[in-house]
Amino acid sequence: MTSVLSSLFSRDPKSVFPYELPASSFYTFDGIYIGKSFKKAEPSELATCFWATVSDYGPGSVLKAQARKLKTLRHPNVLAYLDSVEMNGTFYLITEACVPLKTYITENKLTDKQKDFVVSWGLFQLLSCLKFLHQEAELSHENIRYSVYVTESGDWKLGGFEKSTVFSNPCTDLNSFALLTWEIFNGFNESITKPEAPKRVPQQLHVHYKKMATNRAAKLNTGELLRGNILELRQTGGFFKNRYVDILLFLDEFQLKDAHEKQAFFTELKNELDFFPDNIAKYRILPKLIHSYEYGDAGSHVLMPLFRLGRLLDENEYQLRIVPCLCKLFSSPDRVTRVKLLERIDEFAPHLTPQIVNDRIYKNVASGFMDTNPAVRESTVKAMVSLADKLNNQNLNTDLMRHLARLQGKVYTTEVFLCFSQSLKM
């Protein structure tokens, strides 16, 4: 018993900590290092690690204060706390995967149009978070300019909070927000300590920028100012009024929309995906599409954008995220969905393993041979050309041949011949 207890207490704390601690950083600020991490039990669950040396008033103490605040704050645009630990004189804070805003803006190859869209969404999110902090959490952040992080899905979130205080007036936060806005459009410059003339800040933001950039901000009612800014900027011609923000807000409120709104949205979405940087399309829009189909009533309208975004995934991600959705789609009783799947089968058939085809897809596809709708029967025959080389002996030489033999001599002669030819090559 003694040896067991001794073993437990002598174990290396690093080995039992559930997250990987990085050996190197990709960003450093004021003695705090930032590096990539992941959950050891689930390496696909990425995270970010902040760490610093512990001392009475040094960066380690700052990081501890951040961890305490992040533990207690819950908001979609507050950086999510995952874990923390102190060992060997260093404090480690683990959060959801993110990068500092400065890194995101300077290193991502965004077109000018994409940058305007990305920034409009990010500033919209930060204003919403600031409204929450001032009105509900009753906190002043006090360091917004240096505390914005961007997640894989393109969300802008506030971290830091080591300087946060009980809310008294909005001046410091609004001035800091104005400085951040200026830097985003004019270039990051730590030597600037107070807001300057707007310069390259978009015209739609000038009035709002000037309100927040001066000492008059202390006299403003935070709720009215932030609510007014958000509402006004979302009006026609406002900086937040564009299809990029509209699409992301629609996805956030998807469950509140009726079936007609959802169908119209997905019909238009397939032509608007070029607005979005790949990381946002992959980590924000694609999961929403999959979730919306599985739990909502988006119907077949989700298929086109789903297949298009599927091209952004590597093979492992495709197997994990798209193939299960395809299996469910093939079992749909909706004829339109099944026909659209069959018509696009060339796009995803290479990703289907023989086991998936035989165990989970073939039976549902083959049911189309007996469908009363000629369009379904014809699409089924054509689709088999893409699947034939993955069928096992029973499905290929017995079941499929029986269906094809029955269809010979009918209107599907060419397609049947192609499918027979494909099958005979096996």
**So where are the chain's domains?**
12-96, 100-233, 243-312, 331-338+348-426
CA–CA gap between residue 380 and residue 341 (Å, rounded): 10
Contact 209, 178 (CB under 8 A): yes
In this predicted structure, what is the pLDDT of residue 50? 97
Give the per-residue pLDDT at 109: 82
Per the listing, tokens 């507050």 go with 78
CATH of 100-233, one of 1.10.510.10, 3.60.110.10, 3.40.50.2000, 3.40.50.720: 1.10.510.10
Q: pTM of the prediction?
A: 0.84
Strands (E), 120-208: 139-140, 148-151, 156-158, 165-166
Q: Are 130 and 143 in contact, with CB atoms under 8 Å apart?
A: no
CA separation for the pair 33, 23 (Å, rounded): 11
Residue among 258, 264, 267, 331 nearest 294 (CA): 331
Q: How many CA atoms lie within 13 A of 311 on its CB side?
A: 8
The CATH number of the domain covering residues in 12-96: 3.30.200.20
Rounded distance, CA 204 to CA 10, Å? Answer: 61
Confidence at residue 393, expressed as pLDDT on a 0 to 100 scale: 87
pLDDT of the chain along its 426 residues, tens only?
555 555 555 567 777 899 999 999 999 998 999 999 999 898 889 999 999 998 766 788 899 999 999 999 999 999 999 999 999 899 999 999 999 999 999 888 888 888 999 999 999 999 999 999 999 999 999 999 999 999 999 999 999 999 999 998 888 899 999 999 999 999 998 888 887 888 999 999 998 888 888 877 667 666 777 677 777 788 888 888 999 999 999 988 888 888 788 888 888 888 888 888 888 888 888 888 887 777 766 667 778 888 888 888 889 889 988 898 888 888 878 788 888 888 888 888 899 999 999 999 889 888 888 888 888 888 888 888 888 888 888 888 888 888 877 776 555 555 555 555 555 455
Asked whether this chain's domains 12-96 and 100-233 adopt the same fold, the reply is no
